[in-house]
């Protein structure tokens, strides 16, 4: 990791690992701390394929964004966007649609601070510091309303965020509030941790993550599907990340640790 720390906000908790910073580390980023790397390494010992899971998840996000752009989407709301790394939503979208607008949302201080630095001077892309489990705060934020036109279709991204919402957060209601705010023709893309593919290691990972700032809740396919509400899933439906419209022949291994899907509002 770089020894430069001018990107570290004074509000960062250096005693507990953060899921966003652990993800940054697994993907080869520099915006993480020793506590994040140590816990990530412990999780990798339990499930050695965690890095592949992260790469497959990132690749799915890219394909989902490009798919939405192809369908005419020009504005995106990225929930739990995390620490910026190569291939952010606005960069992906603008390779095809230079006028694309993006609102990123996160409450992790490093993710927010680094994103705000990255986006300085970009009027069509902003970072909103908010808890995504409180959708009304996100949707009514001044920056959200300034950049996004909710009378037009929006691409809503919920990539690896649902499993950080516990049952007490009422994720079904949270997702419903976001869906209700979107115009017809909008899309929802999400990925969600599951133990459907590998129940043996799931419990161990859940226990390990209790030492971090982010408790995780893997869910089954039947528990994840309601997050799409009455949106219509596009083919191939809710599948593992590498199986969703791969650009090459899909990996024969379907265990990516995550379900992935994209659905449209009618």
User: Domain range spanning residue 118?
Assistant: 19-264
Residue 2 inside a domain? The answer is no
- Domain-located, residue 1: no
User: Residue 125 maps to which CATH number?
Assistant: 3.40.50.150
Can you tell me the distance from the alpha carbon of 54 to that of 254, in angstroms, rounded to the nearest whole number?
Answer: 14
pLDDT value, residue 2: 38
Residue 134 placed within a domain: yes
pLDDT number for residue 163? 94
pTM above 0.85, yes or no: yes
Looking at the domain assignment, is residue 10 inside a domain? no
**pLDDT at position 115, please?**
86
What pLDDT shows up at residue 266?
Answer: 94
**Beta carbons of 180 and 203 less than 8 angstroms apart:** no
Q: Is 173 left (phi over 0), alpha (psi -120 to 50) or beta?
A: alpha
Residue 260 belongs to some domain of the structure:
yes
Structural domains counted in the chain: 1
Ranges under pLDDT 50 in the chain: 1-5, 7
Is residue 3 one of the residues assigned to a domain? no
Residue-wise pLDDT tens digits, 26-64: 988 888 889 999 999 999 999 888 899 999 999 999 999
5: in domain: no
In a domain? residue 120: yes
Q: What is the pLDDT of residue 113?
A: 85
């Amino acid at each position: 990791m770089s020894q430069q720390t001018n990107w570290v906000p004074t509000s960062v908790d250096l005693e507990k690992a953060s899921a966003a910073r652990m993800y940054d580390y697994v993907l080869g980023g520099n915006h993480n701390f020793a506590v994040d790397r140590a816990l990530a390494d412990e999780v990798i010992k339990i499930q050695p394929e965690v890095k592949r899971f992260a790469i497959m998840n990132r690749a799915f996000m890219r394909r989902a964004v490009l798919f939405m752009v192809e369908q005419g989407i020009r504005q995106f709301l990225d929930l739990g966007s995390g620490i910026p790394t190569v291939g952010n939503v606005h960069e992906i979208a603008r390779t095809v649609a230079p006028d694309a607008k993006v609102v990123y949302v996160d409450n992790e201080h490093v993710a927010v601070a680094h994103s705000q630095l990255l986006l300085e001077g970009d009027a069509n892309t902003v970072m909103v510091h908010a808890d995504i489990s409180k959708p009304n705060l996100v949707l009514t934020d001044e920056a959200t309303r300034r950049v996004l036109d909710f009378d037009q279709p929006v691409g809503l991204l919920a990539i690896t965020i649902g499993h950080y919402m516990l049952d007490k957060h009422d994720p079904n209601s949270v997702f419903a509030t976001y869906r209700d705010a979107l115009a017809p023709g909008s899309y929802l893309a999400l990925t969600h941790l599951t133990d459907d593919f590998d129940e043996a290691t799931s419990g161990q990972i859940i226990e390990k993550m209790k030492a971090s700032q982010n408790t995780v809740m893997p869910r089954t396919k039947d528990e994840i599907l309601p997050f799409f509400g009455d949106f219509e899933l596009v083919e191939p439906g809710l599948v593992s990340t590498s199986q969703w419209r791969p650009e090459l022949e899909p990996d024969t291994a379907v265990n990516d640790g995550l379900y992935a899907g994209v659905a449209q509002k009618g």
